[in-house]
Amino acid sequence: MESFETDNSYKIDALGFRLKKAGIDISKWGTGGYKTIDHLLAEIECQEAILATDANGELLRKVEVVGAAIYHLTDDGNKYYLLEEKQIYIDGRERRRLAINNRSVFEKKKPNESPTEAMIRGVREELGLGGDIYLEETDTYHKIADSDSYPGLKAESTFYMFESILTQEQFNPDGYIERQPDKTTYFTWVKIE
pTM of the full predicted structure? 0.82
Q: So what's the pLDDT on residue 67?
A: 94
Q: So what's the pLDDT on residue 82?
A: 95
**Average pLDDT across the chain, whole number:** 90
Q: CATH code for 9-192?
A: 3.90.79
Neighbours of 75 (CB within 10 A): 6
Residue 150, CA distances (Å) to 37, 173, 175 in order: 8, 33, 28
Q: What is the pLDDT of residues 106-132, one digit of tens each?
A: 999 999 999 999 999 999 999 999 999
Under a CB-based contact definition with an 8 Å cutoff, are residues 126 and 105 in contact?
yes
Residue 87, CA distances (Å) to 70, 74, 97, 177, 182 in order: 18, 27, 7, 10, 10
Q: How far apart are the first and last CA of the chain?
A: 66
Which of 64, 70, 50 lies closest to 160 in space, CA to CA? 64
Q: What is the pLDDT of residues 21-31, one digit of tens each?
A: 999 999 999 98
